[in-house]
Structure 1
């Protein structure tokens, strides 16, 4: 299956990465997300390679993203009680915002707090782990033509130059044909090229490496604190969001919305338009939008909350399942990071 839109291709690339990462060097435990990056640059697909044992420790902090303000508190919370202004490094912004973050962190059971007179003291519940090994950025372009190659070459060159990611890739669809070599010559030599064929759906054999990427990790030195924090923020957002969060910007409560299997992937499908819709198409403003009858949601038909809620619950469960499986991957050297076979 070759999707009608780049959005659909993006979902298939994400599922492939979840099943078969790393395509060039063999299995590596990783979590996959989409549409993440910085203020200057947003990536289609983000692969966060992790240490399974450290990810298991991160799982103890819950399923939600720990945002930048909370990370400042959680990463530096002391093992013993201390006044927060003694315990935490200067944030570079007013301390009142730190106090707000402390209360939110305590509300999520990320840290402990108590008062010593008028002073707020904090203590960690557990150390925040160093769970991120590498970050990989993937640009997806199923139909690579000359104009698209020019645009992508500039984007990938920016990624290579900033080296915020440890590897950058271009994923493009071949459908059995060779990629035009003249187009690949436009790309920076440091960027990898993943040739995919999803005509029969997604499985571990759906991608081949047409060009191996360079390692962009700093050699002989570590990244500065600002880059380290930006990378950790991206990884946290990838952890909390995942790639199945498309239901947040679509309307699974429409009668025409359903999930369809494409090999080992589940993707949205519109029965009214008979296609895989984009997030923009699948909205309440769609002229063919037909909301679920209220009785579906109130009477538990066919599942409690109605089909739309059931779709959300299914996708959320699969995101959680994949995170748990990756955290457990270190106990099974044969695992590809998912721990599952034949499931979408």
Structure 2
């Protein structure tokens, strides 16, 4: 199976059945960056956010990602403060951040005494119980950067657990190429229980400092220290992006061969190729199976709301385009 289809089907499975040996997957998302120093340097295929003690409060707070700069700022909860005192940088940036926070429903922005002022509508909840990252490699015969990716995850510790998911038969040699803390799943979607735990992941040190692997060379490896505070901020950012983004980030092509699939979860399926396709890279007039038609009717937000605790109208705000993108 191609990696894109494998990834979507695994996301649907984790959302419905939880994470083997770990617990419920409160939020499942795709393609999220976990690097602290190298922006965009490490993109994890699938990220699950385990529910924390105040997970329900997060589902009531906002349906979108709350921007990291809003959460990093010292915005008061009860009393109003001038926007330009709360947010660093030029006044235009401060006002823009305040409005973005208000769009999610997390901030309340108004004017008093001729000044724009802001406050939090409520205290930010302790909703994250842990982060589980899954690297999807259906074919271990073509591992790509798997060794580097898993060393990055184990050394940095932004994730609480790191796992490799594959369709391949897993040998001792495969396991020996991965850090001991990284788990391995063998996945067969034809089975009633698709995920076989070949090696359970060990819990990483997500609370302490870490080392971010920046690059590997023949005779040396470039690393950079990461403080515990920097990791905590990045973990919150990853969790927020996951919450706002989810895993249903695809659009359906306007093609007669496109359908929503025949499983429990809606996915972009192609009758011409008889498999799940990536509409962003595989569909369009240049495809040999393209036949112009209306796109399949699908409400992905409604499906997510039906299958998970996420609410599309949380915070009483209309969902804003772009707020949940990485």
TM-score range, shorter chain: 0.7 to 0.9
Hey, what does 2:12 align to over in structure 1? 15
Rate the CA distance shift 1:217–1:19 in 2: closer, same or farther, 3 A: farther
Hey, what does 1:63 align to over in structure 2? 63
Q: Does 1:269 align with 2:249?
A: no
Q: Does 1:105 align with 2:63?
A: no
Hey, what does 1:32 align to over in structure 2? 28
Report the more deviating stretch, 11-20 or 62-71: 62-71
Hey, what does 1:215 align to over in structure 2? 203
Matches of 2:238 and 2:133 in 1, distance apart? 11
Q: In the TM superposition, what whole-angstrom CA distance separates every residue of 1:298-335 from its partner, at most 9, and x where no partner exists?
A: xxxxxxxxx53x22x1x221112233279xxxxxxxxx
> Please, which of 148, 154, 161 is the counterpart of residue 167 of structure 1?
161
Matches of 1:108 and 1:14 in 2, distance apart? 25
Q: Could you list the runs of 5+ residues in structure 1 that have no partner in the other structure?
A: 294-306, 327-344
Hey, what does 1:230 align to over in structure 2? 234
Alpha-carbon offset, residue 59 of structure 1? 2.2
Rate the CA distance shift 1:160–1:95 in 2: closer, same or farther, 3 A: farther
Pairs within 5 Å for 1:86-165: 86=85, 88=86, 91=88, 93-145=89-141, 148=143, 151-165=145-159
Partners of 2:182 and 2:201 within 8 A in 1: yes
Alpha-carbon offset, residue 284 of structure 1? 4.9
Partners of 2:12 and 2:265 within 8 A in 1: yes
How many aligned residue pairs are there?
Answer: 289
Rate the CA distance shift 1:316–1:325 in 2: closer, same or farther, 3 A: closer
What secondary structure sits across from 1:18 in the alignment? Answer: helix
Matches of 1:196 and 1:158 in 2, distance apart? 23
What secondary structure sits across from 1:260 in the alignment? Answer: coil
Q: Could you list the runs of 5+ residues in structure 2 that have no partner in the other structure?
A: 35-39, 211-226, 312-326
TM-score (norm 2): 0.79
Rate the CA distance shift 1:217–1:318 in 2: closer, same or farther, 3 A: farther
Rate the CA distance shift 1:109–1:22 in 2: closer, same or farther, 3 A: closer
Matches of 1:284 and 1:166 in 2, distance apart? 43
Partners of 1:77 and 1:111 within 8 A in 2: no
Matches of 1:227 and 1:135 in 2, distance apart? 12
What secondary structure sits across from 2:302 in the alignment? Answer: helix
Matches of 1:158 and 1:100 in 2, distance apart? 34
Alpha-carbon offset, residue 237 of structure 1? 1.6
